[in-house]
Amino acid sequence: MTTDVKYCFEDQDIDEVTRNMADIQVRRLPVLTRNKRLVGIIALGDIAVSKPGDGAATALHGISRPGGQHAGAVTG
């Protein structure tokens, strides 16, 4: 399990969340209240559907670059 869980807040600006997803190279983030109560999960697909434009494309470009947090992860 991940010890450093990444998340966003429900009242955060979607552009900021999208940039953060690209920077940390994740496709999904838990969504929390400011009291850190889980209220949902936001996915890159949610952003693509709810915010027309290049926000999702920008995030996907950042997420897809080599060398992310899980680049050396072993599966199987």
pLDDT of the residue at 75 = 46
Determine which of 3-7, 34-38, 58-62 has the lowest per-residue pLDDT on average.
58-62
Closest among 74, 67, 59, 56 to 23, alpha carbons compared: 59
Domain locations in the chain? 8-63
Q: DSSP code of 22?
A: H
CA-CA distance, 39 to 28, in Å (whole number)?
A: 14
Residue-wise pLDDT tens digits, 50-73: 766 666 666 666 666 666 555 444
Beta-sheet strand order (sheet of 38-43): 8-9, 28-32, 38-43
Residue 26 contacts residue 63 (beta carbons within 8 Å): yes
Domain covering 8-63, topology: CBS-domain (3.10.580)
